[in-house]
């Protein structure tokens, strides 16, 4: 599609903030930091709350409230020493009020507000014993101008040197430059939802007359949120369409895969069968697959990937299977090499450790097609790694890789008409369904929402820290009986050094009681040393593994049956759930102990309860989202979640699916966006100028 030029109607908004009255060289950087570089960005910065100014007499002054009083000036009290405030004593029939200025004010106050005049004063009340004070009153006006003091005032995000009221002036000027735009909403839906027109929505947002008007649930804020969500969904849908137009080799189900499936020591679950058939649909389509396999830890994603690999091999195509760490790559290799070799497929492991002649031999085998599958780490991206006919790229724990890395891998496939590398990504980060569309809107997603049979859920208990000795005693007994345990210490303080010390101290404590089989891994360790400790744990030489923050994602130690997490209340639920997923993979009964510091807040208590009661990652993510509300409860930014300015992923989550449907419909009916509504939609897209950072794809 030809890049449309920005419509002229938007020019007034796409000018630098310095064109706003009062935004000079000193203020401009502050406005830019707060809102962004353009007038549009100032317009897009909506107030977060309102101050309600209540008229009162002095005897009804309430500490901490913003109030307006009508007073007479009684006396000026200039500072007696440098650094002291300038004070005015004022009064009404019910009492005395002190007005205070700490800086930048002086004798001019006495000239402007001489003793005896009546003034309307407004500001935040502070009470010190019997003294009632307003420091730096926001308004101090002649009584007859009291009407100028607004009863409600929006509060904008403020920063030092740029108070909310100053920003408000800029916002109102930005609003005055906002044009009426053609309507891009479906009129019937807009009517049903009672959503105002675009410009009116901003006018209402910037001129609230009460609490309800700053609510994210108000019709005008919903409208603005919807616009942003729609713009984003359109961008995602267009990207998906563009990708679909790229050809890739047609791969049918192969007899090899049938053999591989027969050789499995288990039957595929319903969810695995579903995911596999979706993958196969993509592989056979002639279009490039971009599918995400979403499944909780232990849900069995690897076998689905393996069957896709055998399909590709059946079609004469090589596969590359990437893992974020060496230990994970090695585990995948150990799982896959044998069953694939049984089918006559040669598999190699390629990591940073491969050097010299051995590495050269592996690369030669990939280049001439002798090896069907390469499993490895980032080492697979290197320039001298070439494939004969790469047809499928599999990426485990996809969020650990960047877009560039994936592109480099996909670029290793044959280019041109029959070229193109199918992409299958895997993720165990449970994302609530409502948010999936936003995070992975340009991908096809298969969910494995069923666990293989025979798993006993991990018995989960929350235990207060004072009972630590008891936990350690039990751990000692379990270790003596051959059990293995993870012991997680969180990264909590700002200083990694302090956290590291805490983990080292804990490891030392445990070593004293349990013995020398206690190991320690942390992020500051050289990779080789870390790997060595992990390997000792995998082999059973280490019985208790103390670790800071994250244990290597996805690591499989079937014999580990105990997970202890210190200061569990500090972790996100999704993260706790993933940590817990490291145990409960073997025959032993598994347990998870969530140690918490006292006192525990109500919300923290509820959160730990969710974890005790559920072992479904998606359900946990959903509940966590509801409990925590805004912010970034699930580490979404890290998983590519866009930073919306007007939409809130929680408050507006009902609008996400609507916007996704709407975007699909708009593009289906009018792919070139040339109808009147299509043209309006283009204006919307230009307005947001959306260039989404996608977790898996950039343009093409």
Contacting residues toward ligand ADP, per CB under 6 A: 266-269, 272, 295, 297-303, 428, 452
Beta-bridged to residue 118, according to DSSP, are: 72
441 binds, among ligand ADP, Mg ion, none (CB under 5 to 8 A by kind): none
272 binds, among Mg ion, ligand ADP, none (CB under 5 to 8 A by kind): ligand ADP
> Toward Mg ion, which CB reaches closer, 297 or 593?
297
At residue 576's C-alpha, the angle toward residues 571 and 577, to 5°, is 150
> Toward ligand ADP, which CB reaches closer, 323 or 673?
323
Instruction: Kindly give the interhelix angle for 617-628 and 602-613, rounded to the nearest 10 degrees.
Output: 170
268 binds, among Mg ion, ligand ADP, none (CB under 5 to 8 A by kind): ligand ADP
| CA–CA separation, 587 and 408 (whole Å) | 41
> Minimum Å distance from CB 299 to Mg ion?
9
> Toward Mg ion, which CB reaches closer, 318 or 331?
331
Size of site (CB under 5 A) for Mg ion: 1
Instruction: Report yes or no: 86 and 95 within 8 Å, Cβ to Cβ.
Output: no
154 binds, among ligand ADP, Mg ion, none (CB under 5 to 8 A by kind): none
Closest-CB residue for ligand ADP? 300
> Toward ligand ADP, which CB reaches closer, 277 or 674?
277
295 binds, among Mg ion, ligand ADP, none (CB under 5 to 8 A by kind): ligand ADP
Instruction: Report yes or no: 542 and 530 within 8 Å, Cβ to Cβ.
Output: no
> Minimum Å distance from CB 582 to ligand ADP?
10
| CA–CA separation, 362 and 349 (whole Å) | 9
> Minimum Å distance from CB 582 to Mg ion?
11
> Minimum Å distance from CB 537 to ligand ADP?
17
Which residues, other chains included, contact 409 with Cβ-Cβ below 8 Å and sequence gap of 6+? 320, 322, 380, 381, 393, 395, 421
543 binds, among ligand ADP, Mg ion, none (CB under 5 to 8 A by kind): none
Q: Which among 195, 34, 167, 165 has a CA at the least distance from the CA of 204? A: 195
> Minimum Å distance from CB 259 to ligand ADP?
17
> Minimum Å distance from CB 231 to Mg ion?
35
Which residues, other chains included, contact 602 with Cβ-Cβ below 8 Å and sequence gap of 6+? none
- Enter the DSSP assignment of 649: T
> Toward ligand ADP, which CB reaches closer, 189 or 266?
266
- Integer distance in angstroms from the first to the last C-alpha of the chain? 12
Closest-CB residue for Mg ion? 554
> Minimum Å distance from CB 393 to ligand ADP?
17
> Minimum Å distance from CB 396 to ligand ADP?
7
Instruction: Report yes or no: 178 and 204 within 8 Å, Cβ to Cβ.
Output: no
Among 196, 519, 554, 695, binds Mg ion (CB under 5 A): 554
Tell me the pairing of strands 54-55 and 290-295: unpaired
> Minimum Å distance from CB 175 to ligand ADP?
51
Which residues, other chains included, contact 54 with Cβ-Cβ below 8 Å and sequence gap of 6+? 65, 66, 67, 68
> Toward ligand ADP, which CB reaches closer, 269 or 438?
269
| CA–CA separation, 640 and 642 (whole Å) | 6
Q: Could you tell me the two tokens for 698?
A: 């950039």
> Toward ligand ADP, which CB reaches closer, 133 or 302?
302
- Enter the DSSP assignment of 227: H
The mark string for 27-66 relative to Mg ion (x by CB under 5 A, - otherwise) is: ----------------------------------------
> Toward Mg ion, which CB reaches closer, 238 or 351?
351
548 binds, among Mg ion, ligand ADP, none (CB under 5 to 8 A by kind): none
**Segment 250 to 289, residues that bind Mg ion, using CB under 5 A:** none
| CA–CA separation, 17 and 473 (whole Å) | 64
> Minimum Å distance from CB 581 to ligand ADP?
7
> Toward Mg ion, which CB reaches closer, 553 or 564?
553
> Minimum Å distance from CB 300 to Mg ion?
9
Q: Locate all alpha helices (DSSP H) within 292-372, ordered by sequence.
A: 301-314, 326-342, 356-367
User: Can residue 617 be called a binding residue for Mg ion (CB under 5 A)?
Assistant: no
SS3 253: coil
SS3 511: helix
User: Can residue 324 be called a binding residue for Mg ion (CB under 5 A)?
Assistant: no
299 binds, among ligand ADP, Mg ion, none (CB under 5 to 8 A by kind): ligand ADP
Which residues, other chains included, contact 578 with Cβ-Cβ below 8 Å and sequence gap of 6+? 297, 428, 429, 553, 617
Which residues, other chains included, contact 685 with Cβ-Cβ below 8 Å and sequence gap of 6+? 231, 234, 235
> Toward Mg ion, which CB reaches closer, 554 or 640?
554
> Toward ligand ADP, which CB reaches closer, 164 or 578?
578
Give the other-Cβ count within 10 Å of 528's Cβ: 10
- Helix, strand, coil percent content, the chain, rounded in steps of 5: 45, 20, 40
What does the binding site for Mg ion look like in residue numbers (CB under 5 A)? 554
């Amino acid at each position: 599609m030809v890049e449309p030029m920005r419509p002229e109607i938007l020019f007034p908004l796409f000018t630098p903030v310095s064109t706003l009255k009062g935004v000079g060289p000193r203020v401009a950087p502050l406005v830019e930091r707060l809102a962004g570089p353009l007038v549009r960005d100032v317009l897009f910065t909506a107030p977060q709350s309102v101050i309600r100014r209540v008229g009162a007499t002095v005897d009804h002054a309430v500490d901490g409230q913003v109030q307006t009083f009508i007073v007479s000036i009684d006396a000026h009290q200039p500072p007696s020493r440098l650094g002291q405030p300038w004070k005015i004593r004022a009064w009404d029939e019910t009492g005395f009020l002190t007005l205070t200025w700490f800086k930048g004010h002086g004798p001019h106050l006495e000239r402007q507000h001489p003793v005896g005049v009546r003034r309307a004063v407004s500001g935040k009340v502070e009470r010190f014993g019997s003294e009632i004070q307003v420091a730096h009153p926001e308004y101090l006006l002649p009584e007859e101008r009291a009407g100028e003091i607004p009863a409600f005032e929006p509060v904008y995000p403020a920063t030092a040197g740029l108070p909310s009221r100053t920003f408000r002036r800029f916002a109102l000027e930005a609003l005055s430059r906002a044009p009426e735009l053609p309507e891009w909403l479906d009129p019937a839906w807009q009517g049903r939802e009672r959503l105002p027109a675009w410009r009116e929505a901003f006018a209402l947002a910037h001129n609230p007359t009460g609490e309800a008007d700053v609510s994210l649930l108000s019709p005008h804020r919903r409208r603005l949120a919807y616009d942003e969500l729609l713009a984003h969904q359109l961008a995602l849908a267009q990207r998906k369409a563009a990708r679909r137009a790229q050809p890739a080799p047609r791969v049918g189900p192969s007899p090899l895969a049938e053999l591989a499936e027969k050789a499995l020591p288990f039957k595929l679950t319903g969810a695995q069968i579903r995911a596999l058939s979706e993958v196969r649909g993509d592989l056979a389509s002639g279009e490039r697959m971009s599918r995400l396999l979403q499944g909780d830890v232990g849900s069995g994603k690897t076998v689905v990937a393996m069957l896709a690999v055998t399909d590709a091999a059946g079609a004469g195509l090589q596969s590359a299977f990437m893992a974020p760490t060496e230990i994970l790559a090695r585990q995948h290799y150990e799982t896959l090499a044998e069953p694939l070799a049984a089918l006559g497929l040669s598999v190699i492991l390629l990591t940073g450790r491969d050097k010299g002649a051995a590495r050269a031999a592996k690369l030669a085998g990939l280049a001439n097609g002798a090896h069907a599958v390469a499993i490895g780490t980032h080492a697979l991206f290197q320039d001298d790694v070439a494939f004969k006919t790469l047809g499928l790229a599999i990426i485990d724990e996809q969020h650990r890789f960047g877009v560039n890395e994936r592109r480099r891998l996909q670029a290793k496939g044959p280019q041109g008409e029959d070229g193109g590398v199918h992409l299958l990504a895997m993720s165990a980060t449970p994302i609530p369904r409502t948010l999936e569309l936003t995070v992975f809107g340009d991908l096809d997603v298969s969910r494995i929402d069923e666990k293989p049979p025979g798993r006993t859920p991990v018995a989960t208990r929350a235990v207060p820290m004072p009972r630590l000795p008891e936990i350690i005693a039990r751990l000692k007994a379990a270790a003596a009986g051959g059990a293995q345990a993870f012991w997680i210490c969180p990264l909590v303080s700002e200083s990694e050094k302090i956290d590291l010390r805490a983990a080292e101290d804990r490891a030392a404590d445990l070593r004293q009681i349990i013995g020398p089989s206690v190991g320690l891994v942390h992020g500051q360790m050289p990779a080789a040393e870390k790997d060595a400790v992990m390997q000792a744990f995998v082999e059973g030489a280490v019985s208790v593994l103390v670790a800071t923050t994250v244990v290597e994602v996805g690591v499989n130690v079937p014999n580990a049956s105990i997970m202890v997490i210190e200061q569990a209340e500090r972790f996100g639920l999704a993260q706790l759930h993933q940590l817990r997923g490291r145990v409960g993979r073997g025959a032993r009964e598994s347990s998870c102990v969530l140690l918490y510091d006292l006192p525990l807040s109500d919300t923290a208590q509820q959160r730990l309860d969710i974890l005790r009661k559920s072992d479904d990652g998606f359900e946990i993510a959903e509940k966590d989202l509801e409990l925590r509300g805004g912010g970034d409860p699930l580490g979404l930014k890290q998983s590519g979640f866009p930073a919306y300015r007007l939409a809130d992923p929680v408050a507006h989550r009902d609008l996400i699916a609507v916007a996704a449907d709407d975007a699909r419909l708009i593009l289906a009916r009018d792919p070139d966006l040339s109808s009147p509504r299509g043209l309006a939609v283009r204006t919307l897209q230009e307005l947001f100028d959306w260039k989404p950072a996608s977790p898996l794809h950039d343009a093409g």
